Chain A
Amino acid sequence: MSVLLIAEHNNKELRPFTLNAVTAASQIDGDVHAVVIGQNCDEAAKSLSELPLIKKVIQVDAPHYQNFVAENFAPVIVKLAENYSHVVCSANTFGKNLMPRIAAALDTSQISDIIKVISPDTFLRPIYAGNAFATVKSNDTKKCVTIRPTSFDPCESLGGSAAIEKAEPGEEFGHTKFIKREEIKSDRPELGTARVVISGGRGMQNGDNFKLITSIADKLNAAIGASRAAVDAGYISNDHQVGQTGKVVVPDLYIAVGISGAIQHLAGMKESKVIVAINKDGEAPIFSVADYGLEADLFEALPQFLEELNKLNTIQK
């Protein structure tokens, strides 16, 4: 039994969540091999070989792998999978796009987004946006598993020296053409991975008032979130939406401002380590999940909050 881990990278560096996926893979079985598929991805292969948990690196290099098109990636992984009991990848958009294509070709029922490895065939995964946890056992001979990166710690990144083997590239799919990628350049951390998230709800009253949130986010190096109500009201664009139909976030600190705490919002943030709620309605359901609740008018509380933060001599980034 051994595990094939699909590395996510940008041809130069490994994407950080690859390290979390390696940790999860190593909990399934100690014999973890990693495949890196790309164009001129020697540097990424080298970084991978330095992860102490990786026993072997397989590098597949060809021009048509430059942009990580799943239709090109899947056949080569399906072929490599012959020698493995498990294929593992992160459940971010890269892995979500790719893994089912591999699983279907292997005639395997994929297990998505696991948060815990119970045994090599049994896993814990959230369903209903985390409103329930299911323990599931795969009865397929080959298992395709995607892991929720924030549920596993990143592995050690230095000290290993795994051999790098080259494998033959597969053919180009031909019906899918990459055009461009626009990475959202923001000084702010990405909502899905930020250590601190501050979100506004309908209580913000309008889009302009989100600047109260922005100034605190700047101070705390936080990502900005929003409830569905705030998005539906047009206060903020829906890429900020936290909840069952938006993003699920698990930051160290989540600050909910003017958010009543509808079920659909709670589903997206209630696994956060520390939750703060600021709301003038003391009966709002958000207080039932908050570690620290402040019953106050947000238009008074937020400027004071910023002032208090400014008084601190250090703030964790």
Chain B
Amino acid sequence: MKILVAVKRVIDYNVQVRVKEDNTGVVTDNVKMSTNPPDDNAIEEAVKIKEAGKATEVIAVSIGEEKSQETVRKALAVGADRGILVKAEGIIEPLAVSKLLQKIVEKEKPDLVFMGKQAIDDDCNQTGQMLSALLNWPQATFASKIEIKDKKLEVTREIDEGLETIEINIPAIVTCDLRLNEPRYASLPNIMKAKKKPIEQLNASDLGVDTSPRIEQIKVEEPPKRKAGIKVSSVAELVQKLKNEAKVI
């Protein structure tokens, strides 16, 4: 069984995101970039399945600018066997990403495609579901537990009301929740080894997919600032303020 894992390069979750002065987007120059956190869970799960002898190959794919190669390389360092980088400039909307991934799936013919449930930059939460629609495959979104049962997967999903369990036939798409597993760190020897693993480079335009945006980003602004609050000197004062001033208790 072959598992394709999609990984995205995003601003590191610990970085204070700043809006550009001209309101065209957020500042990305000289900002620390990392793998989208739930994509780390996706890679981890695929590697664990391979280590359990249930998968033969894990392929990491990323779509984005040249530097997304680092994100692929990191996936290789934690256990993916080889990588694919689809080079594309500018904002690539989830619809276009899923069309590009569809092309990769048609070429690589994986049995499973894993990715994070959402990217922490655009917060769209669309790509996995869109890809499964385009392929007409079953989807298991927001997965917190995956069990492989012959040609089926039993997946526990995080839903607002609690947990849902579904069984889906392979081939299938799974989008991963942070609760799925604990992603490992890459060891130095594995980082060195990953440098020798192959990364195939493609251009989005070579795949015959129109990636031009359908959504115009008119402006990006700072969210409204909170008014400066006050310090209270005692618990009694706090409770009194909450009761009589803020009227929330």
Interface string of A175-189 (1 = CB under 8 A from B): 111111111100000
> If the complex has contacts A126-B123, A245-B13, are A308 and B248 also in contact, measured as CB distance less than 8 A?
no
A293 near B232: Cβ-Cβ < 8 Å: yes
Count of chain B residues with a beta carbon within 8 Å of a chain A beta carbon: 81
Select which of A109, A175, A181 is within 8 A of B168 by beta carbon: A175
When chains A and B are docked, how far (Å) is the Cα of A253 from the Cα of B243?
11
Say yes or no: is A117 at the interface (Cβ < 8 Å to chain B).
Answer: no
Interface string of B145-163 (1 = CB under 8 A from A): 0000000001001111111
B94 near A110: Cβ-Cβ < 8 Å: yes
Say yes or no: is A61 at the interface (Cβ < 8 Å to chain B).
Answer: no
Chain B residue numbers with a CB within 8 Å of A138 are 214-216
Task: Choose the segment among A24-32, A38-46, A128-136 that binds chain B (4+ C-beta atoms closer than 8 Å).
Answer: A128-136
When chains A and B are docked, how far (Å) is the Cα of A102 from the Cα of B130?
8
B125 near A137: Cβ-Cβ < 8 Å: no
Binding site of A, secondary structure by majority: helix, strand, loop or mixed? mixed
B33–chain A nearest beta-carbon distance, Å:
13
Say yes or no: is B246 at the interface (Cβ < 8 Å to chain A).
Answer: yes
Smallest CB-CB separation from A96: which chain B residue?
B125
B129 near A101: Cβ-Cβ < 8 Å: yes
User: Restricting to B3-58, which residues have a CB under 8 Å from any CB of A?
Assistant: 11, 13-17, 19, 26, 37-38
A273–chain B nearest beta-carbon distance, Å:
7
Select which of A96, A179, A274 is within 8 A of B141 by beta carbon: A96
B98 near A181: Cβ-Cβ < 8 Å: no
A253 near B249: Cβ-Cβ < 8 Å: yes
Select which of B158, B172, B226 is within 8 A of A270 by beta carbon: B226
B219–chain A nearest beta-carbon distance, Å:
5
When chains A and B are docked, how far (Å) is the Cα of A63 from the Cα of B151?
25
Task: Choose the segment among A81-89, A158-166, A294-302 that binds chain B (4+ C-beta atoms closer than 8 Å).
Answer: A294-302
Chain B residue numbers with a CB within 8 Å of A273 are 248
Interface string of B237-248 (1 = CB under 8 A from A): 011011100101
B235 near A112: Cβ-Cβ < 8 Å: no
Interface string of B126-156 (1 = CB under 8 A from A): 1111111110011101100000000000100
Binding site of B, secondary structure by majority: helix, strand, loop or mixed? mixed
A293 near B231: Cβ-Cβ < 8 Å: yes
Select which of A94, A112, A113, A309 is within 8 A of B160 by beta carbon: A94
Say yes or no: is B95 at the interface (Cβ < 8 Å to chain A).
Answer: yes
When chains A and B are docked, how far (Å) is the Cα of A116 from the Cα of B134?
29
A133 near B223: Cβ-Cβ < 8 Å: yes
Chain B residue numbers with a CB within 8 Å of A246 are 178
Say yes or no: is A1 at the interface (Cβ < 8 Å to chain B).
Answer: no
Interface string of A200-230 (1 = CB under 8 A from B): 0000000000000000000010000000000
Q: A residues touching B (Cβ–Cβ < 8 Å)?
A: 69-71, 74, 91-94, 96-105, 107-113, 122, 125-140, 173, 175-184, 190, 192, 196, 220, 238-239, 241, 244-246, 252-253, 262-264, 270-271, 273-276, 282, 287-296, 301, 304-305, 308-309, 312, 315-316
Top 8 A-B pairs, shortest CB-CB distance: A100-B129, A109-B214, A104-B130, A104-B133, A184-B162, A100-B126, A291-B229, A304-B235
Q: What are 16 of the A-B contact pairs (CB < 8 Å)?
A: A107-B95, A109-B213, A110-B130, A126-B223, A127-B122, A134-B220, A134-B221, A139-B215, A177-B168, A179-B167, A245-B120, A253-B248, A291-B226, A292-B229, A305-B238, A308-B236
